[in-house]
Amino acid sequence: MDIRSRSMRTNNLQLSHTGVTIRVTTGLKVNAMKLLFAFVLTFLVLATVSAHAASDADVTIIKAKKVVIEADVITIVAEAKTRITLILDNHDPAYKGMEWMGRPVTQVHVKSDKATFTIKRPRHSGLEAAWQESLQAAKDLQEGKEVGHIGYYAPDISIKGNLIDSITGFGYLYAKRK
């Protein structure tokens, strides 16, 4: 090692106003800004994804008979087809099928001739835009337009005579994808 490189290293450590120190500080600020940007972007993506996350019950409306829209609740009386995810058993490491939180699940499809679907506004304040989309989709359904489906999260389901009688829970009414 020659004297010039050793003295430069010593100067950089002793003098906080040198270009090297400023560049390091600036680099840290840029990295912090990049990290903040990445965090915000990740949050926005996850918020969007959670609005369309896999639901516990998906209802495809065949024919709506009545739609009532309130600020925190949408009620639909309709003929529909529903796919429900049910837990089969406790955790089984040998199980190779679908799982939810490590537990085996199955999906069943159930018809409803005239059921009441009550969609409650989710408590997550970060998903306000998704709830507003649900309200708009409900207005479209009132006007006779076709909508996508209802996605419920941990709903209460009532089955009578082998048909769904009602589903109540937190969820979203999704517009039909184009």
Prediction pTM value: 0.67
Regarding predicted confidence, which is higher, 41 or 77? 77
For residues 43-67, give the mean pLDDT: 71
Residue 136 has pLDDT above 60, yes or no: yes
The mean-pLDDT minimum among 8-22, 35-49, 110-124, 131-145 falls in 8-22
CA trace torsion 6, 7, 12, 15 (10° rounding): 150
φ/ψ bin of 65: left (φ > 0), alpha (ψ from -120 to 50), beta (otherwise): alpha
pLDDT computed for residue 30 by the predictor: 59
Query: What residues contact 99, with CB distance under 8 A and at least 6 apart?
Result: 105
Average pLDDT for residues 56-69, to the nearest whole number? 94
Q: Tell me the pLDDT tens digit for each residue of 78-133.
A: 999 999 988 887 777 787 888 878 888 889 999 999 999 999 998 877 788 889 99
